[in-house]
Amino acid sequence: MDKVALVTGGSGALGGAIVRRLTGDGWRVAFTWKNGREAADALGKETGAAGFRADLTSPGDAAAAVSGVLERFGRLDALVNNAGLTQIMPFALIEEEDWDEVMAANLKTMFLATREAARHMIQRRSGVIVNIGSLAGHRLLDVPVHYAAAKAGVTGFTMALAREFARYNIRVNEVVPGLLSRGVGSMVPPKELEEYVRYCAAGRPGEPEEVAEVVAFLMSDRAGYVNARSYFVDGGI
């Protein structure tokens, strides 16, 4: 396969699973990382994917990351917006800087990375974008308010972008993971974890690899008639 994909936040649990799944499918893959050089280096060594250190809340870093992918591979066919973070704190203790940090990490990164990648995709009139949302933005759950608000924004971003980019033959979808066993999910307090498992039809947290399977499908030609949709991978909540 000659196609090239960029995965943001690739060195985390879910990002790493997506990188591994795509390279296994024959994609040429690049990923960004901000913290955790050892994990990023190990992932690159394991998969052959190219890692780019970038703070995607910075327009300059976002532009440099996409330029680096184009310089190395000569094209960019797909973008997975996976970068993000959360903070576990009650609403009354959220400071303005906390709110801004979470919004920037989950939405601004998505905007800046997509803007840079889309400029190339629009020129080629072809591309696929998959945005990683969260069940926190769709369900009545005991989750941090600023994180839930940011992840709800991913859905609006996806729908509007899909409508605008349809004229360029660029598909845009959202994948909505439920609670996962690793990554952000590992920060969930035991009480909330027990409650989730109780109401989850699958009776357990999910695995990053299970989410990566859906991402890989949406990026493939098999999903050519799938656009502007939110796909839940939550075990049934």
| Residue 233 near residue 175 (C-beta atoms within 8 A) | yes
Could you tell me the two tokens for 161? 């972008």
> What 3-state class would DSSP assign to 105?
helix
Say which of 147, 168, 225, 231 is annotated catalytic.
Answer: 147
Cα–Cα distance between 163 and 223 in angstroms, integer? 17
Beta-bridged to residue 32, according to DSSP, are: 52
Q: How far apart are CA 143 and CA 89, in angstroms?
A: 9
SS3 state at 220? coil
**DSSP letter (8 states) at residue 71:** H
| Residue 147 annotated in active site | yes
CB 73 within 8 A of CB 48: no
**Cβ contacts of 43 within 8 Å, gap of 6 or more:** 10, 11, 16, 19, 20, 31, 49, 51
**How much is the CA Rg of the chain, to the nearest whole Å?**
17
* Active site members: 147
